[in-house]
Amino acid sequence: MARVCEICGKGTSVGFQIERRGLAKRKGGVGKKITGRTKRKFKANIQTLKAKIKGSIKRIKICTRCLNSGKIVKVA
């Protein structure tokens, strides 16, 4: 599993890119209409770094959310 955080399990998720046309109602139009939906991927921001885990230094893949919250001890 390549793009998965080893701490929280966060990975790639799927969704849609939505195409719209028309003018918004608040700008004087009749509203936006959806003209197409294309599948896309939302990739997690995964970083590879050395961390101290149970007394030993290991190279792990971790998302930036876990990194910023201080869930691991980063080794320089």
| 8 Å CB contact between 24 and 32 | yes
Task: Delineate the domains of the chain, giving CATH numbers in brackets.
Answer: 13-74 (2.30.170)
* Mean pLDDT score, 56-66: 95
Q: Residue 13: its pLDDT value, please? A: 96
Q: Residue 14: its pLDDT value, please? A: 97
Distance CA 21, CA 34 (A): 7
Q: Residue 1: its pLDDT value, please? A: 60
Q: By percentage, how much of the chain surpasses pLDDT 70?
A: 99
Beta bridge partners of 4: none
Q: Residue 73: its pLDDT value, please? A: 86
Q: pLDDT tens digits, residue range 13-39?
A: 999 999 999 999 999 999 999 999 999
Which token pair is 55? 């007394």
| 8 Å CB contact between 17 and 72 | no
